[in-house]
Chains A and B, each alone.
Chain A
Amino acid sequence: MSKILEIAREALQQMPPQTRLRPEDEAVIARHKELLLSWTPELVQGFYDTLFAHTPTRKVFHEGERPAREQTLRDWWQKTVEGPLDEAYFAWMAKVGLVHVVRGVENPMMLAMASFVTEFVERKSLEAGLPEAEALSKAFHRLGMAVITHGYDRYQALALYNVAGMEPALLERRGPQAAG
């Protein structure tokens, strides 16, 4: 876990501070906690309807897996809204990014869904006539970028495991197959 945390930190440090999640973003999310939580069923439904309606993303899922995945999204939303959005939260996000690699989720798929969540929050905030709709939308936008950035550990992982770390052993093991 400490290695994941380390690469997560490194990824975040590469983002200019102006574009990172700020304390005021976390604060505006906290102020709207109850309302954001009340949107959970609609968010979860929309998120997976979108994924299941699209062939490349539907292929990621096993038969009958949807309820379990919906629960993970529900957990993520609750943890995100309730906070704290601290180092432990982003270490978790880094791990989630790696789980996506294992499941063969491509980066364009993740980027599209980050955009989906941002758009959802923006639309719901405007519909609700929230005075802080813009600040709340922007907070989720920044959060989405931060989450995705941690998801990008996949590249670090690729570099680590294919070039530096265990790759020589894998090369020996898989090389002849590749050549054949």
Chain B
Amino acid sequence: MRKETLKEIARQAIEDMALEARFRPEDHQVLLKHKDRLLALTDELVKTFYDTLFATPSTRKVFHEGERPAREKTLVDWWQKTVEGPVDEEYWAWQAYVGLIHVKRVVTNPMMMGQAFMIEDLVRTHLDDPEVAGAIRRLMATVAAIIAYGYEKAQLLSIEETTGISQELIKTNVRVGVEKLLED
């Protein structure tokens, strides 16, 4: 997928979010201020993250045999890039790309939501600071929103491509189907 499409997906997701809940430039200043302590959490964050995923049958199934070290490396990279920045359009486009990869690897949004909570909770447990709490909350809400939106967009785009039906029409069809489900 083109970089511009990913940027557009991220832009749309952020635009849908209430301003209060979005990640702000000053939030990244807070992350930078606590950079060393946040980066010192990397090992524990990565271990807890994948221990949790490998301990749950639904999420363990996502992984191939022997894949864990490679996946750990991607989380290390994500955390480092997130803390060090820049958290810009390119960064958010990358989060949209994560949503697409999740579709490919059959990682559902409930799985992702659980892990977003886990990261926020771990950071807040170690850095008991209201400033950090606000920044990490808005970070994870924004990342989760983009990943979830990217996931939905990837599904819509692939259905559009295989059936030739426009995304708007697919969404209308889903609404019609859901209305029927609610009536049952």
Instruction: Assess A119 versus B137: contact at CB under 8 Å? Given A138-B121, A161-B173, A161-B177.
Output: yes
Set A14, A160, A161, A179: member contacting B110, Cβ < 8 A:
A14
Give per-residue flags for B156-184: 1 if the beta carbon is below 8 A from chain A beta carbons, else 0: 00010001111001110111111111101
Q: Are A3 and B184 in contact (CB under 8 A)?
A: yes
**Complex alpha-carbon distance, A11 and B151, angstroms:** 15
Give per-residue flags for A1-38: 1 if the beta carbon is below 8 A from chain B beta carbons, else 0: 10110000001111111111000000000000000000
Question: Chain A's interface: helix, strand, loop or mixed, by majority?
Answer: helix
Pick from B27-35, B39-47, B55-63, B73-81 the stretch touching chain A. B55-63
Q: Are B164 and A165 in contact (CB under 8 A)?
A: no
Pick from B64-72, B82-90, B142-150 the stretch touching chain A. B142-150
Instruction: Assess A170 versus B18: contact at CB under 8 Å? Given A106-B149, A108-B146, A157-B178.
Output: no
Q: Are A102 and B182 in contact (CB under 8 A)?
A: yes
Instruction: Assess A149 versus B113: contact at CB under 8 Å? Given A157-B178, A177-B169.
Output: yes
Measured CB to CB, the residues of A under 8 A from B are 1, 3-4, 11-20, 50-51, 53-54, 56-57, 95, 98-99, 101-102, 104, 106-109, 111-116, 118-119, 122, 126, 138, 141-142, 145, 148-149, 152, 154-155, 157-163, 165-167, 170-171, 174-175, 177-179
